[in-house]
Chains A and B, each alone.
Chain A
Amino acid sequence: MSTENFKIQIRKGLLEFCVLQIISIKEVYASEIIEELKNSKIIVVEGTVYPLLSRLKKSNYIQHVWKESTQGPPRKYYSITNHGLEHLKELVVSWSDINSSVKKLLKTKK
């Protein structure tokens, strides 16, 4: 298992969590999500976000509204639903669990 593969697996697992987290902070449109994810190096290519958004919407975790923009075409703004918030809370809990146990492992190693 190469480092590259490891990174892919990690990103893959965290992508949904991160997208939900970004949306839960404020109403955003797709390009903002992409920028955020690219800056934090969660995603490499932009296209991967779209299927995920569609999936989250289908699971009723997020919703969207169309808003006029000052420049260019109207934009789709995503916001989190109550259902999505609950889901996110669970994800946060499991993430911090994993995070702390991994940290523990790393410490014992040293």
Chain B
Amino acid sequence: MKKTFTISLGYSIFNVEEDAYKILKTYLDSIKNYFQKMENDSEIISDFELRIAENFSSKLSLGKQYINLSDVKEVIQIMGSLDDFKEIYDDLDDESFKENENSKGKLYRDSSNRIIAGVCSGMAEYFKIDPIIVRVIFFIAVPLNLLVYIILWIGVPSKDFDPDLRKILYRDKENGIIGGVAKGLSNYLKIDVNIIRVVFVVSLFFGGAGLLFYLLLWFFTKEAKTIGEKMNMSGFNVNLSNIEDFIKKKTKNLNSPENTLTKIFLFPFRIIAPIINAFLKIGVFVFKGVFFIVSSTFIVFYFILLLVFSRILFENVNREQDSDFYELLNAVPDYFAIFSIIFLILTIIISLIISFYVLFQRKSNFYFFMFLIFIWITFFILIIASIPNVIFILQDLDLLPFWISGFENNSFYYRWIF
């Protein structure tokens, strides 16, 4: 007994057995991917499916009402694999690919290979370079990058790029020693992993550039986890026969045995590896702890501020008790106080969400979170924009503390207004 799936294919309905369905789906997906890349024409796919349906129909009879694995395999053989198509269309492809790229020459955020919002990866796709380069540049250009990133995040639409189309640097943790960076690089550059390891180690003695580079790569690359990513990393194209090959190779473990020299060379690193990993874990733990303590102090601090402000807003302070403070309170415009309070509430909520997220690895609603941050920034800007006004009111009432009025003519706000 086997489970069957009911599928609709080219205007007909078929009952397909489970194992056959999986193969058929993989096949159709890879075909779809390929044709879309090639012609950007959905009609090809529907025509193609129609033909598969015809072939299936010829396999059915009164005695056999379902499609099984051998039917699917036969039909795939009749229709042809990606390699067959590539044989015919490869040199034509280059032209149409270029045309496609020219017409598609727009900047998108890459949702398929992203760390935060896919801005860097999208830019890399746009300039046809590896995302890692853009990420490192972004990381180094500290003051500008944040602004640019946020602007691009808001302004650029996201798009799923096909991972088979480009080669991406992944970390190969399975075959790596510490973080899999060297092994990933070797897959990417098609250089023997040991050479890269030697280069890394040698560069350690020249001011530690290798270490920095290693850490940067570690932070800015993703670990290859899915089978597609692993295949991409090793330079395979994802299609049906390749998936089978790849899995076979994986199970056979094709890694060539290391010679004695590399064994000796790698020995210290094999010893260090668990220590480094342990340190990393401790480091992450400490970071989380510190983060939690800092964020909770902030929260407590803001709560106190909030209480003070709400007192200020809703209760009159006694004139006799503290006359200076009373004057100051009356001078501060209401809108400023309201902005500040909303800003503080938002800060508390956001820090709570972040600390929950970091501590318990819960997922917050992403869009809600973005919305909060957006409002938070808005109020922050409102507060900053109203500060000069508040200062002038205070100045008029002669309430300005000396550390602001002291350099009145040179003050930032003074020059800003005039």
Contacts and interface: CB of A to CB of B under 8 A. Distances in A.
Contact of A30 (B31, B47, B81): B47
B306 to A, nearest CB: 64
B80 interface: yes
B54 interface: yes
B84 interface: yes
A31 B12 CA distance: 16
Interface in B67-93: 77-81, 84-85, 87-89
Contact of A51 (B38, B53, B81): B38
Given A50-B44, A51-B35, A55-B39, A44 B54 contact: no
A80 interface: no
A8 to B, nearest CB: 6
Interface of B: 10-12, 31, 35, 38-39, 41, 43-44, 47-48, 50-51, 53-54, 57, 77-81, 84-85, 87-89
A91 to B, nearest CB: 16
A44 B83 CA distance: 12
Given A45-B80, A72-B54, 7 more contacts: A8-B88, A30-B47, A47-B48, A48-B89, A50-B35, A55-B39, A73-B50
A53 B50 CA distance: 14
A72 B50 CA distance: 10
21 contacts: A8-B87, A11-B88, A30-B47, A31-B54, A44-B84, A45-B79, A46-B78, A47-B31, A47-B51, A47-B85, A48-B85, A50-B44, A50-B47, A50-B51, A51-B38, A53-B44, A53-B47, A72-B57, A73-B11, A73-B12, A73-B53
A73 B43 CA distance: 16
A47 B57 contact: no
B131 to A, nearest CB: 30
A107 B47 CA distance: 44
Top 10 closest A-B pairs, CB basis?
Answer: A45-B80, A73-B11, A47-B80, A47-B79, A45-B84, A54-B41, A50-B44, A54-B44, A54-B39, A48-B88
A48 B51 contact: no
A86 B344 CA distance: 75
Interface string A1-42: 000000010011001000000000000001100100000000
B80 A48 contact: yes
B87 A50 contact: no
Interface in A73-101: 73-74, 76
A54 B79 contact: no
Nearest to A5: B87
Contacts of A76: 47
B326 to A, nearest CB: 79
A100 B147 CA distance: 68
Nearest to A76: B47
- Output the residue of A53, A54, A55, A76 with the most chain B CB within 10 A: A54
- Output the residue of A45, A53, A55, A74 with the most chain B CB within 10 A: A45
Nearest to A11: B88
Contacts of B81: 45
Contacts of A72: 11-12, 54, 57
